[in-house]
Amino acid sequence: MPVSENAIGRAISDLRDPEARGAVSYVIVGLGTPAPEIREVDGAPPGSYPTLQEAKSRTMAALQEQIASAKDSLARIRATGVVIGRRR
């Protein structure tokens, strides 16, 4: 579910260097959901990332883990009730 503009932080500003550190940090809202968002916040609250690149890397890694888990689940569901090598 998308996060409202005022729920936490602000939309990401355009940056020339996503690895730059500044007066803002980045939080990931909805990590572990199908649609996480990265938001810009003032200061450095707990759980925030100092650079946009770090927040993006963490978000992408989490999504890749979810995709791998979903693929495993699909394989198990497809195999449910299937007996290989036995004739009736």
Q: Which residue has the higher pLDDT, 41 or 12?
A: 41
Contact yes or no for 5/11 (Cβ under 8 A): yes
* % of the chain at pLDDT higher than 90: 47
Please state whether the predicted TM-score (pTM) of the whole model is above 0.75: no
Sketch the domain layout of the chain as residue ranges. 24-79
Average pLDDT across the chain, whole number: 83
Taking the C-alpha atoms of residue 55 and residue 59, their distance in angstroms, rounded to an integer, is 6
- Of 50-54, 57-61, 70-74, 77-81, least confident by mean pLDDT is 77-81
Summarize pLDDT for 11-32 with one digit per residue, the tens: 777 777 888 888 889 999 998 8
Give whole-number Cα distances, 66 to 23, 58, 60, 72, in Å.
Answer: 32, 12, 10, 10
Cβ contacts of residue 46 below 8 Å, gap of 6+?
Answer: none
Tokens of 51: 């650079």
Which pLDDT belongs to residue 50? 94
CA 79 from chain centre, in angstroms, equals 29
Which pLDDT belongs to residue 7? 54
